[in-house]
Structure 1
Amino acid sequence: MCGGEGTRLKSAREKPLYPICDIPMVDRVTAALEAAERVGTIFAAVSPNAPETRTHLEESDVRSLEAIETPGDGYVTDLQAVLDRPELETPVLTVAADLPLLEGDVVDRILERHGEEDASRTVCVPRALKRRLGASVDSSEHRDENLVPAGVNIVGSDSTSMTHVSYDVRLAVNVNRIEDARLAAELLPRQEVE
């Protein structure tokens, strides 16, 4: 999901293209998805809000990447536009483009835990973990006020919804503000920054 406006980041760059240690966040997320053994085709939900992101992704060398144009009217509307595509079958993994610490093993672990279930799954992290790290915490639309959606979901074929709680720091930093970008850069593995 990389078609949002990114207004909270207050950057001249489109949010998915905002660099963390000189690498755009969307490239970090697509690299994690490519590294995941359980991920097939990668669909990038782009919108009129992020035309440079669309161009960037179309010019990338990511295997099996396909851009899907969405209206850019918000996460739920854009997600529905993606799910309405006839070539997609559930379950569908959705990942926000603002998770620069995401890695393939994290994605595989989430998909493995989900298994063959028909239910949808929202991956959340404890609000206390985000606060301990110094990551921004916006109002949450999760039924448990102690949990914050991480930006990773599995959309299943039935209306049942489950929550997967993770304590993995790599899911706890969504870059919504400049301070989050600094935190993400600090938390990246040392060898990558050097």
Structure 2
Amino acid sequence: MCGGEGTRLDAPVEKPLFEVGGTPMVDRVRTALDDSRVDDVYAVVSGHTPATRRHLGSTSASVVDAPGDGYVDDLGYALERVDPPVLTVVSDLPLLDGAVVDRTLARHDHGSLTTCVPAVLKRRLGVGTDTTFTASGRELAPTGVNVVGESDAETTHVTYDARLAVNVNRQSDAAVAEAFARDAGGGRP
């Protein structure tokens, strides 16, 4: 998913093209998917991200042009064009890697899977917690990595993996991601 406006980031480039560790976030996510057992990749763009669309034209990803009506609507638009189960990943997870993607896929056995981190982890790392919910007495934050399945059954997987906790939505989030990238020699904490 790389079609959002990214207004909170307040960057001179479209959010998916914002660089962490010298590499656009969308390329970092694409590398993680290439390094995983995912077979087909569809990059969902919109009219809000024309430069991202041009950038992705040089990759092997299939591009889906969504209407740009918001994340949920654009996700629904994209899901109508592929067969489930489908792994969905947001483009603002620059620390993602193939092993994390494969672990998420291994946790899925039916229905849909939502991967979350404890909100307290995001706060300890110093990144934003824009969306949270409470499950089993814990405040959780969605990571942006999910599996949408064929049935209505839903499972929530909670992980403490910092790579899934660092979504870059603001410059302060970008600073945390940059520190991980620098300390890990490329972004794998």
Flag whether TM exceeds 0.5 (same fold).
yes
* One of 150, 156, 159 as aligned partner of 1:157: 150
* One of 177, 180, 185 as aligned partner of 2:178: 185
Secondary structure of 2:146's counterpart equals strand
1:172 to partner: Cα distance: 0.3
Matches within 5 A, 1:24-173: 24-36=24-36, 38-60=37-59, 63=60, 65-85=61-81, 88-115=82-109, 117=110, 119-140=111-132, 142-144=133-135, 146-173=139-166
TM-score by length of 2: 0.93
Gaps in structure 2 of 5+ consecutive residues: none
Structure 1, residues 75-95: CA drift from partner, whole Å, max 9, x if none?
11101111111xx21100000
CA distance in 2, matches of 1:169, 1:149: 13
Q: What's the RMSD between the two structures over aligned residues?
A: 1.3
Secondary structure of 1:45's counterpart equals strand
Q: Which amino acid aligns with 1:48?
A: G
CA distance in 1, matches of 2:29, 2:115: 16
CA distance in 2, matches of 1:90, 1:59: 26
Gaps in structure 1 of 5+ consecutive residues: none
1:143 to partner: Cα distance: 4.5
Secondary structure of 1:146's counterpart equals strand
Secondary structure of 2:156's counterpart equals strand
TM-score by length of 1: 0.91
Secondary structure of 2:186's counterpart equals helix
Q: Which amino acid aligns with 1:121?
A: L
Q: Which amino acid aligns with 1:153?
A: N
Preserved contact between residue 131 and residue 142 of structure 2 (Cα < 8 Å): no
CA distance in 2, matches of 1:164, 1:11: 32
Secondary structure of 1:129's counterpart equals helix
CA distance in 1, matches of 2:46, 2:163: 26
Q: Which amino acid aligns with 1:44?
A: A
Percent of residue pairs identical: 51
Q: Which amino acid aligns with 2:4?
A: G
1:39 to partner: Cα distance: 0.1
Preserved contact between residue 84 and residue 149 of structure 2 (Cα < 8 Å): yes
1:187 to partner: Cα distance: 1.0
1:113 to partner: Cα distance: 1.2
